[in-house]
Amino acid sequence: MRHEFGIEAQAHFQEAWPNAYSIFSWLEYAISIPYPTYLITTLKENGKPNACWHSWGCFSGTGQGYYALLVLNEGGHTYANILRTREWCINLPTLDQKAQCEETIARNDMENDEIADAGFTAEPARIIHSPRIAECLVAMECRLEWHWPLFEGGSQHVFAGKIVHVALDERVCDADPQLRLEKLRTMYNLIGTLDPLSGETQPGSLGIVRLV
């Protein structure tokens, strides 16, 4: 059987932390869609490299162009940097680089070189000015096409960028999908889980995909 739910949070829903269902939607925890994670690199106003671990995004396009869609919280460095520079790079880290990804959040001041301080190496991009992360197997250079608030009065903003250049490490050029997944080891973000019947919540985690 299927249970039907309206969109209002219910009183018996546990929150993992205070205001969790104000800052995020309870639906994200109840539905639990895993999102691939990547590092968005941009340049801060003072010229220092910025890295943001990100997961609210998707990729789509046709022969006329391939696009990255990102949702960013207003108030972060990446949000301000993209509005100012109109460009960014998307770098795909592997599960083995999880600790470095966490460091980009721990060392997030204006004065931080967030690529070097996380233990990565910055390399110049080919088309844009934002740096790429040399250790990531995939880098997608993006130019802003349009941006819009997710909804009026909200704190999240949608950015659409055209992918204007791609760098692929030779290890992920294999046509065998199994081999490619084994090399990519892309981290998927499961933000957390909520059982909307009992109201119980459990913390999220990261996962990787495999072919079935």
Ligand X SMILES: Cc1cc2nc3c(=O)[nH]c(=O)nc-3n(C[C@H](O)[C@H](O)[C@H](O)COP(=O)(O)O)c2cc1C
Q: Can you give the binding site for ligand X, defined by CB under 6 A?
A: 37, 50, 52-56, 71-73, 76-78, 105, 108, 189
Copy the structure tokens of residue 131: 């740096």
Neighbours of 59 (CB within 10 A): 12
CB of 173 to ligand X, least distance (A): 27
Residue 163, strand partner residues: 142
Neighbours of 164 (CB within 10 A): 16
DSSP for 89-154, written as a single string: EEEE-BGGGHHHHHHHHHS-STT--TTTTTT--EE--SSSSSPEETTSSEEEEEEEEEEEESSTT-
**Between 32 and 108, CB nearer to ligand X:** 108
**Between 103 and 179, CB nearer to ligand X:** 103
Cβ atoms of 67 and 60 within 8 Å: the answer is: yes
Q: How far apart are CA 163 and CA 133, in angstroms?
A: 16
CB of 57 to ligand X, least distance (A): 6
Close Cβ partners of 183 (under 8 Å, ≥ 6 residues apart): 94, 137, 171, 172, 174
**Between 78 and 130, CB nearer to ligand X:** 78
**Between 52 and 125, CB nearer to ligand X:** 52
Q: Which residue has the tokens 């844009």?
A: 128
CB of 131 to ligand X, least distance (A): 13
**Between 199 and 207, CB nearer to ligand X:** 207
Q: How far apart are CA 209 and CA 187, in angstroms?
A: 8
CB of 164 to ligand X, least distance (A): 21
Type of residue found at 159: F
CB of 10 to ligand X, least distance (A): 26
CB of 197 to ligand X, least distance (A): 27
